[in-house]
Structure 1
Amino acid sequence: MNANAKRLLLSAALLMLTPLLAAAGNASGAHADKLTAAHVSVSSSDRQTELAVHASGWIAEIAKQPGFKAWRGAQPEITALGPGTHSWLVLVKQPTGAVIGYIVVQAVQEGGGYAIEEYGLGQYLYDEATRKRGVAQATNGTEETSESVGSPLYLHPLLAVWKNKPAKGSILLTDAMSGESLPLTENQWLKLYKKEEQRSAALLSVVPPAAKLARAVSNSSFDPYGLLPWLTNAVPLSADSNGKAIVRALEEKRQIRYTSERFDDKMRYVWSVTGFHRWENNVVYAALESDDSETGKRFVPLALLTEFGAFYD
């Protein structure tokens, strides 16, 4: 991209984003809990500008794909997930303020640049209303009586958690998307974070702000629990490095299911796989849908999914 093009892209991004980079709290200094990932403001103006350009570029490109028409003209609101400023949650908002999607961005430590951890339509990660409902259900209370403070803990799409501090009782960890209570303690989360940090970081691929989507496939939704091949000793699809067998199956409109056993096999995630996006750097994001039609669609790197689970035909 030449200098003029960069200036035009930056100008457009800044016009769109002036009111939108959100500061959702300040780091609590030496007293911060090492597990607490409260929203914090992004302090570096250079970092803000970079994130603004990347987010607006990605939104514009994704908006061209099937199912993402509502993203046209949408504006990103960016908050840090953290401690530190290595990952960010981008809420995709319409001019009315309605949230219609999200992107999670990760700074790539080696070589610089930014990677897209995941993105999605509809329900989004770290929605406060979903968190409160989840805490109420887990404590057999109501949203009014189950007062708590939530802090996001994020490593990758399969380790995205709310840490909830109730007014009374012990710390409760819940799923960042569904709000479901997790069979996980703080110490267990920290151990899992340390165990999977390098594995997940090795799977990150930089996505430039002007990157294009080279291929998009969108298939019909279906019930992920209509068949349970992981219980019948079925052989999973080949998990080669490029996911060719999985991509081919999706191009052939076959019903593919994905499952991952997490937290010492105490919890199983199950999704239907209803398409994919392939970016021009050849990184593929699989489209995941749950059995709850209200949760929308979640695009997660195929390489990460194959690392931590299996696909079934």
Structure 2
Amino acid sequence: MKTAASGFASLMIMSLILFYLVPSAGSANQTALPETGALEPTSSSAAEPTPPHSDQPVTLDDHIRLWVKEVARTSGFEGWLEAGWTTYPLGPGTHGWVAIFEKDGQELGYFIIHATEIGGFLLGEYGTGSSPLFSEATLNHNVSLYGLHVNKEVQPQKIYMDPLQTVWQLEGTEETHYLDAVTGELLPVSETVSLWRSNQFHTALVPEALGPLASSSAVIQASGSMPPFDPFENTDWMLHKPVVSHELHDIMQAVHHEANVTFTAKLFEHTVLYAFGVSSYQIWSNKAAYVGLSLDTGGVRYIPFSVLQRYGNFFL
């Protein structure tokens, strides 16, 4: 996006607010779930081994460590084997966590992990870049940038409706502020969040409903990537044409041929239109498929393809 806050990012008014970002459940009976309501984050690293005499991962960190070892084999995740991470609960009722990865004082990326109903864990989404999802560094920077007057006695709250609708909620001295969980952009989504809360959608996020997600026993069987691009270099997608088939094979072929595909979605009750450049994909052995959406920070968000199919469209 092109704003004072971030490279390509921009906030535009055109009948709605428009901005974009450019560049099998495992061990069901042996998994120890951390307390989602815990206020204190926990820290770990990929270097720590799984417990001895254990054929299956036991703790949340054990599962994270296996995912790290797998993604570290692919482009864009260099250095992750030497990284540490801190896990934070996504909030009451979500049964999920965000793990923020860091190496030498620099943030590298993130995982979103969901607990399953039978006791395992699934990788909801993941990504790379110096401004990962729910980065407190990005949040603090933008609070200062916008000059927001925040009630410091109330902790910022993570709002995770689904992979595409994620925001920070901040209690101001006069009003509540909502900021995009990746870019830190201010969003006019108070009504959407209120509706979500009133319908208690936040207690009904079932990871299996997001489509196939990677378990910690799965491996990446296929992947591809291409250089990131600015979706506003070619704005034909604004005219709703041409639309790329919503088949994963077609998206994979476009990446292989370095054909610029833009994914768009009208989110938060159709009040905000996002546009992302598609730059990569990763297919896991349990049929979990993630499509990489480029960030202007140089990173990528890997979102389940089934979620993208449900919420938006792909344009050449």
Letter in 1 for 2:255: L
Match of 1:51 in 2: 60
By relative contact order (CA 8 Å, sep 6+), the higher-ranking structure is 2
Q: 2:212 aligns with which of 205, 211, 214?
A: 205
**Partner residue, 2:116:** 108
Superposition map of 1:131-210 within 5 A: 131-138=139-146, 141=147, 146=150, 148=152, 149-166=155-172, 168-185=173-190, 186-190=193-197, 194=201, 201-210=208-217
The CA deviation string for residues 141-164 of structure 1, in whole angstroms up to 9 with x for no partner, is 26xx65544111113221111010
Matched AA of 1:162: W
Hey, what does 1:33 align to over in structure 2? Answer: none
Using a 3 Å threshold, how does the CA distance of structure 1 residues 200 and 52 change in structure 2: closer, same or farther?
A: closer
Q: Secondary structure at the match of 1:155?
A: strand
Are 2:312 and 1:303 equivalent residues in the alignment?
Answer: no
Correspondence for 1:3: none
Task: Go from structure 1 to structure 2 and tell me whether the alpha carbon gap of 1:250 and 1:105 turns closer, same or farther (over 3 Å shift).
Answer: same
- TM normalised by structure 1 equals 0.75
Identity over aligned residues, as a percent? 27
**How big is the shift at 1:189?**
4.0
In angstroms, what is the RMSD of aligned CA positions? 3.2
Q: Distance in 1 between the 2:315 and 2:78 partners?
A: 30
1:78 maps to which residue? 87
Cα gap change, 1:227 to 1:184, in 2 (>3 Å)? same
Q: Which residue of 2 aligns with 1:221?
A: 228
Q: Distance in 1 between matches of 2:36 and 2:203?
A: 27
Q: Structure 2: which 5+ residue stretches go unaligned?
A: 1-26, 44-56
SS at match of 1:277: strand
Deviation at 1:256, TM superposition (A): 0.9
* Closer/same/farther in 2, CA of residues 208 and 262 from structure 1, 3 Å limit: closer
Does residue 247 of the first structure (1) align with residue 247 of the second (2)?
no
Measured in 1, the distance between the counterparts of 2:206 and 2:251 equals 21
In structure 1, list runs of 5 or more residues that go unmatched.
1-5, 11-20, 28-38, 43-47
Query: Structure 1, residues 206-259: CA drift from partner, whole Å, max 9, x if none?
Result: 43323210011010111121112332230422224xx22222222222111111
Q: CA deviation at 1:25?
A: 7.7
Which stretch has the larger CA shift, 113-122 or 148-157? 148-157
Task: State whether residues 150 and 165 of structure 1, in contact with CA within 8 Å, keep that contact through their aligned partners in structure 2.
Answer: yes
Q: Does the aligned pair in 2 maintain the 1:26–1:40 contact within 8 Å?
A: yes
Alignment of 1:273-284 (within 5 A): 273-284=278-289
Report the counterpart of residue 276 of structure 2 in structure 1.
271
Return the TM-score normalized by structure 2: 0.75
Residue in 2 that maps onto 1:66: 75
Aligned length: 268
Task: Give the secondary-structure state (helix, strand or coil) at the position aligned to 1:56.
Answer: helix
